[in-house]
């Protein structure tokens, strides 16, 4: 059911259909779920007085945040998040690409682990600045990026996975947005590398369990996109599109993902990119309860067994990264 309301009456969680062509408003899409009050302010400031909302699609983000208890962890400690070695390696023009890729990966994992120990406003701000160099390297140094994409012989943990997904997702965004100036690749990079930040609130015994999770454990695990989104919303160091990555990276095109069961184009394109990278890295990583797949085998599984999870055009671009 479509209903027209005043822009000033919009609430977080409403699914809106903007009446103008996308060039006539400040958003990437005409239809999307409102996830922040800042989006409402932007609509009003742009001079849009009325919008259409789909009352069946809208999900109240405030309600899903209330489902998760306030975390008891204290993340007040400041730390030196960005390793000096990372800056030195990125600046080194003489280091061979393969060696540079290994060093960048190692120091990036170190940076993520430090942040996940204390993800407060100050430390997230440091991380956001530190990841700029890694993103620029991926965008400008094809030789080093080639080796970064092929660093798949690893055991799985949250820190390594966060870095792998960040590298894969930025590498995928590179050809997708090559002809557009409408995307802040540094902000995108922060969102991709922080997609699993909410796992800092999940019991480590569940995260590291060497076997299939119970239904109750899965229910707990499925809270991490909401918790990561909430943390980034409160610290206000990451922009709204980057926060969408964190909230939506487990959404699926067929509507069977979580936490909002979004479908198709309801999912932000940044969330769709992260979803493909996230699943691929899970498949090529070694876990206690499964063998790792080689990249080609993982892509086959994604194509023939999971294709309804992804947007076809994005998946096809992802495959080309490994040609």
Instruction: Report DSSP letters for 170-225, one per residue.
Output: HHHHHHHTTT-S---HHHHHHHHHTTTGGGGGS-HHHHT-SSPPPHHHHHHHTTHH
Same domain? For 44 and 111 the reply is: no
Q: Is residue 142 part of a domain?
A: yes
Same domain? For 22 and 124 the reply is: no
Residue 46's pLDDT is 81
Angstrom distance (rounded) from CA 17 to CA 52: 5
Residue 60's pLDDT is 47
How many domains in the chain? Answer: 2
Question: Tell me: the pLDDT tens digits for 198-213?
Answer: 999 998 888 888 888 8
pLDDT > 70: percent of the chain: 88
Residue 10's pLDDT is 83
| Domain encompassing residue 44 | 2-58
**224 — pLDDT class (breaks 50, 70, 90):** very high
Same domain? For 11 and 104 the reply is: no
CATH code, 175? 1.10.3210.10
Question: Quick one: average pLDDT of 137-163?
Answer: 88
Angstrom distance (rounded) from CA 128 to CA 149: 21
Question: Quick one: average pLDDT of 109-134?
Answer: 95
Instruction: Report DSSP letters for 246-293, one per residue.
Output: HHHTT--TTS--SSS---GGGS-HHHHHHHHHHHHHHHHSBBTTBPPP
Angstrom distance (rounded) from CA 63 to CA 227: 13
Q: What is the mean pLDDT of the chain?
A: 87
Select, from the ranges 25-34, 71-80, 307-316, the one with the highest average predicted confidence (pLDDT): 307-316
Residue 38's pLDDT is 80
What is the reported pTM? 0.80
Q: Is residue 69 part of a domain?
A: no
Same domain? For 51 and 172 the reply is: no
Q: Is residue 70 part of a domain?
A: no
| Residue 197 predicted with pLDDT over 90 | yes
Q: Is residue 38 part of a domain?
A: yes
Same domain? For 25 and 105 the reply is: no
Q: Is residue 75 part of a domain?
A: no
Same domain? For 89 and 49 the reply is: no
Same domain? For 183 and 262 the reply is: yes
121-140 vs 224-235: helix crossing angle, rounded to 10: 100
């Amino acid at each position: 059911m479509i209903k027209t309301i005043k822009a000033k009456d919009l609430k977080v969680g409403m699914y809106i259909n903007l009446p103008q062509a996308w060039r006539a408003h400040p958003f990437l899409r005409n239809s999307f779920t409102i996830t922040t009050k800042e989006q409402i302010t932007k609509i009003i400031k742009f001079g849009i007085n009325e919008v259409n909302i789909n009352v069946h699609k809208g999900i109240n983000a405030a309600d899903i945040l209330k489902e998760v208890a306030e975390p008891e962890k204290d993340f007040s400690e400041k730390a030196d998040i960005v390793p000096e070695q990372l800056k030195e390696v990125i600046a080194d023009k003489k280091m061979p690409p393969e060696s540079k890729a290994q060093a960048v990966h190692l120091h990036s994992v170190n940076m993520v682990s430090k942040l996940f120990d204390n993800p407060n406003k100050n430390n997230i701000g440091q991380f956001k600045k530190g990841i700029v160099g890694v993103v620029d390297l991926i965008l400008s140094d094809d030789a080093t990026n080639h080796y970064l994409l092929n660093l798949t012989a690893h055991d799985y943990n949250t820190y390594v996975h966060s870095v792998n997904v960040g590298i894969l997702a930025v590498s995928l965004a590179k050809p997708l947005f090559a002809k557009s100036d409408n995307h802040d690749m540094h902000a995108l990079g922060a969102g991709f590398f922080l997609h699993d930040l909410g796992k800092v609130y999940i019991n480590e015994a569940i995260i590291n369990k060497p076997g299939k999770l119970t239904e109750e454990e899965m229910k707990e695990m499925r809270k991490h996109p909401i918790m990561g989104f909430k943390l980034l919303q409160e610290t206000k160091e990451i922009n709204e599109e980057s926060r969408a990555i964190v909230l939506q990276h487990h959404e699926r095109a067929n509507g069977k993902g979580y936490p909002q069961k979004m479908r198709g184009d309801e999912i932000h394109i940044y969330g769709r990119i992260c979803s493909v990278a996230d699943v691929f890295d899970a498949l090529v990583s070694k876990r206690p309860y499964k063998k790792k797949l080689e990249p080609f085998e993982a892509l086959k599984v994604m194509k023939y067994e999971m294709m309804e999870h992804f947007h076809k055009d994005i998946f096809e671009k992802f495959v080309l990264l490994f040609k």
